[in-house]
Amino acid sequence: MAKTLEHIEEATIRFAGDSGDGMQLVGLQFSETTGFFGNEVNTFPDYPSEIRAPEGTLYGVSAFQIHFGTRHIYTSGDFIDVLIAMNASSLKVNLPNLKKGGIIIADTEGFDAHNLTLAKFESNPLEGETLAAYSVHQININKEIKAEFAESSISSKFISKTKNVFALGIAYWLFNRPLDPTVNWINKKFKGKDDVIMANIHALRAGWNYATKNPEFEKQFVIDRSPLPMGRYRNITGNEAIALGLVTAARKANLPLFLGSYPITPATDILHAISSYKKYGVKTWQAEDEIAGICSAIGAAFGGSLAATTTSGPGLSLKTEAMGLAVMTELPLIIVDVQRGGPSTGLPTKTEQGDLLTAMYGRHGESPMPILAASGSADCFDVTLEATRIALKFMTPVMILSDGSIGQSSAPWKIPSVESLPSIETYFAKDAATFAPYKRDEQTLRRQWAIPGFEGM
């Protein structure tokens, strides 16, 4: 049966299932492939607040949303066009966000009596008229995979774990995405584990072939490449962009980089990322609490390093006295606030932009501080460079405001040449005879940066 091709400008797809179903992995692969294909992308990983909620429950649903298109994509999307639901709970949680007429791809094995009870369904929504307003495709994914591997020598324990990759293959067919980027990733990720590689690649192609042969899948969607400027691109999250921005800024300023932070969702990824750049001479310290984190960074700034600390709402509250210290001592310090929802401990896995007034006025006494807010994931890199430039030019702490959505979602980023980026100037005291603590630059009013061990002091 001939398939219909429909040209559209944008689409939003959400992979949803139980924690452990691999929704974050396939969502990330879909977004990476879509970026490789040449579309604008914005993603949103959504996972439970619990460490591991009971399997099959409404609280344990994990999802990954990708909004992509030809035009510039600013957000991860409000409503979705395609929902891939691996069980009943993932359907119930995400159905309110699916557009009328949208596509549901449901794994029927996740809609047995036990799963329906956990999802609080009185009857099976795949039967009857409950989903009449949508285009529903029911697939027993496990059955299809086992049929694909019927004559294979690959162990069943590997085969049973590829349901998410089968669903990814269907999604690739639906939006005419290439399989090669994911095949290459599988080969690299599981190098030396031949059974795992073969199981995943076969499952990916089986999903594509299922949609190709099945008459229910009668329409493919075509989204043309985005008119992006020429250059090398990669998908980058806001947290990754801040980490790369700090490392790059340190190199452009010819300073050692120090990051002192206490782990806190959703900012911890920055600490992880910078720790992986040890070959560039960076130093990271996982502090015992938020106050120790910022105070260690202040000490590093006093010693002549480009110093930074990262946090989120509750941590920002704890750091306020030390921020006042950084203002009073007139030291360059980068404070990154990746905002999350709610007051007090709040909602670690939910996003919000509620810290602006705290960032501006949350310190006692008169302690002004420049604040820069990122407009998106890729913008975090440029904002970090500019924050560093301001901090060093005016000898002041600077705060960067991001949020959970920006920090953890990804978007295309044109990789700049480090040589093309302007240098970042530092203003160290060099002459003991003319140095005075109260002496200031007439234009910027900054003091010179006098570090311990300065000759003649």
Look at residue 421 in the predicted model and tell me its pLDDT. Answer: 94
Domain boundaries, the chain: 4-222, 234-420
CB 248 within 8 A of CB 418: yes
Look at residue 233 in the predicted model and tell me its pLDDT. Answer: 87
Tokens of 392: 């060093």
Look at residue 358 in the predicted model and tell me its pLDDT. Answer: 94
Look at residue 201 in the predicted model and tell me its pLDDT. Answer: 95
Mean pLDDT by 10 residues, the chain (457 residues): 87 95 95 90 84 86 95 90 98 97 97 96 93 96 89 76 96 96 95 92 95 93 89 92 98 97 97 95 97 98 98 97 97 98 89 94 94 96 98 98 93 90 92 86 92 78
Look at residue 50 in the predicted model and tell me its pLDDT. Answer: 67
Q: Residue 209: is it exposed, middle or buried by C-beta count within 10 angstroms (0-12/13-18/19+)?
A: middle
Look at residue 231 in the predicted model and tell me its pLDDT. Answer: 87
CATH number listed for the domain at residues 234-420: 3.40.50.970
Look at residue 393 in the predicted model and tell me its pLDDT. Answer: 97
Please tell me the class of the 4-222 domain: alpha beta
The 3-state secondary structure of 376-426 reads CCCHHHHHHHHHHHHHHHHCCEEEEEEEHHHHHCEEEEECCCHHHCCCCCC
* Angle, alpha carbons 31-95-71 (nearest 5°): 35
Query: Beta strands 257-261 and 306-311: pairing type?
Result: parallel
